[in-house]
Amino acid sequence: MPDSNVKIESLISELLTQIGEDPNREGLLKTPQRVAKSWDFLSKGYKQNIDEIINDAIFYEDYDEMVTIRDIDFFSLCEHHLLPFFGKAHVAYIPNGKVVGLSKIPRIVEMFGRRLQLQERMTQNIAETLNSVLEPKGVAVVLEGQHMCMQMRGVEKQNSFATTSFMTGLFREDARTRKELLDIISMRK
């Protein structure tokens, strides 16, 4: 077991004590181990990098129409409260001679989601990464998220959603391109 997991286990045991629980009661005996393992998974994005994710799956292609992957499930943790936020990511780009393997886009979303995040930053991180890797005519990322820090505590608004977007190139400059993307995102089966 990595040394960091042992430290996390100790911290969780102390946290249980501080909130008034007994970390030695039957139901909590293995909780520190489970939480450490869970945090290892939930924060795996810190151990990933874009080169490993792309894995040479960039292809030269004479295609210059919009490529969109919508409704990508994402899960992340709010950096302010360490509570989950989750939702759908919609990612589009207009190639400029290069395309990326389609499965790489959800993997990029996952990499940034598995870090402590702000939804705004995550949206921008995804867009800037694709822009850097592909040098396309434009990139657009829209995230729709539900935040447990707003639903479980604080204002306690269970039906609230946060929508963030980040657009470059044609998506930012051309209203028709942006509208086409938003129409695609709003299509339902």
- Convert the pLDDT of each residue in 124-158 to its tens digit: 999 999 999 999 999 999 999 999 888 888 777 77
Contacting residues for 91 by C-beta, under 8 A, at least 6 apart:
68, 69, 70, 72, 105, 108, 109, 126, 127, 130, 139, 140, 141
Backbone dihedral angles phi then psi of residue 12, each to the nearest 5 degrees = -70, -40
The tens digit of pLDDT for each residue in 32-66 reads 999 999 999 999 999 999 999 999 999 999 999 99
The type of residue at 161 is F
- Residues forming the active site: 78-81, 119, 147, 149
Q: Which residues of 72-103 are buried (b: 16+ CB within 10 A; e: fewer)?
A: bebebbbeeeeebbebbbbbbbbbeeebbeee
51-186 CATH fold: GTP Cyclohydrolase I, domain 2 (3.30.1130)
Evaluate the CA torsion angle 44, 161, 126, 128 in order and state its sign.
negative
What is the value of pTM for the model shown?
0.93
- Domain boundaries, given as residue ranges, for the chain: 3-42, 51-186
Phi/psi of residue 81, nearest 5 degrees: -125, -5
What value does the CA radius of gyration of the chain take, rounded to a whole number of Å? 20
Taking domain 3-42, whether its CATH number is 1.10.286.10 is answered by yes
Which pLDDT band holds residue 2 (cuts at 50, 70, 90)? low
CB 145 within 8 A of CB 119: yes
